[in-house]
Amino acid sequence: MHRIQLHYTLSRDVGDAQIRNPLPEMLEAVAQQGSISAAARTLGMSYRHVWGALKRWEEQLGGELIIWGKGQSAQLSEFGTKLLWAERQAQARLAPQIAALHADLERAFAVAFDDSAHVLTMYASHDDALASLRAHAATPGATGALHLDIRFTGSVDAIRALNEGRCTLAGFHTLEQPAATSLAARTYKPLLQPGLHKIIGFARRTQGLIVAKGNPLGLQSLTDVARTGARFANRPLGSGTRVLLEDLLAQEGLTGQHIAGFERDETSHTAVAQAVVSGAADTGLGIEMVARARGLDFVPLVDERYHLACLKATLEQPATRALRELLLTRVWQDHLASLPGYSPMHSGQVLAMSNVLPWWDFTRPKRPSAHRKKP
Residues 183 and 268 in one domain: yes
Residue 364 inside a domain? The answer is: no
Given a contact cutoff of 8 angstroms between Cβ atoms, the answer to whether 167 and 150 are in contact is no
Residue 13 inside a domain? The answer is: no
pLDDT of residue 226: 97
Range of the domain at 346: 114-356
Residues 284 and 150 in one domain: yes
Enumerate residues 6+ apart whose C-beta is below 8 A from 19: 6, 8, 91, 98
**The total number of structural domains that make up the chain:** 2
Residues 101 and 118 in one domain: no
Nearest one of 314, 233, 309, 235 to 267, comparing CA atoms: 235
Q: Which amino acid is at 154?
A: G
What is the CATH classification number for the domain harbouring 244? 3.40.190.290
Residues 86 and 146 in one domain: no
Residues 174 and 127 in one domain: yes
Residues 274 and 202 in one domain: yes
pTM tops 0.85, yes or no: no
What dihedral do alpha carbons 357, 237, 130, 116 form, nearest 10°? 90
Residue 28 inside a domain? The answer is: yes
DSSP classification of residue 122: E
Residue 341 inside a domain? The answer is: yes
Residues 101 and 129 in one domain: no
pLDDT digits 0-9 by tens, 212-251: 999 999 999 999 999 999 999 999 999 999 999 999 999 9
Q: Which residues of the chain have pLDDT under 50?
A: 142, 372-373, 375
Residue 375 inside a domain? The answer is: no
Distance CA 240, CA 130 (A): 15
pLDDT digits 0-9 by tens, 69-128: 766 788 899 999 998 888 887 777 777 677 777 767 776 777 777 777 888 999 999 899
Given a contact cutoff of 8 angstroms between Cβ atoms, the answer to whether 200 and 328 are in contact is no
Residues 206 and 277 in one domain: yes
Other beta carbons less than 10 A from residue 78's beta carbon: 10
Residues 101 and 133 in one domain: no
List, in sequence order, the alpha helices (H) in the chain: 22-33, 36-43, 47-61, 78-93, 95-112, 128-137, 155-163, 183-188, 222-228, 240-251, 269-278, 288-293, 318-327, 330-337, 353-356
For residue 204, what are the CA distances in angstroms to 107, 342, 370? Answer: 32, 6, 47
Residues 125 and 247 in one domain: yes
Residue 168 inside a domain? The answer is: yes
Nearest one of 161, 160, 136, 128 to 322, comparing CA atoms: 136
Residues 187 and 211 in one domain: yes
Residue 10 inside a domain? The answer is: no
Q: Which amino acid is at 24?
A: P
- What is the bridge-based pairing of β-strands 75-76 and 169-175? unpaired
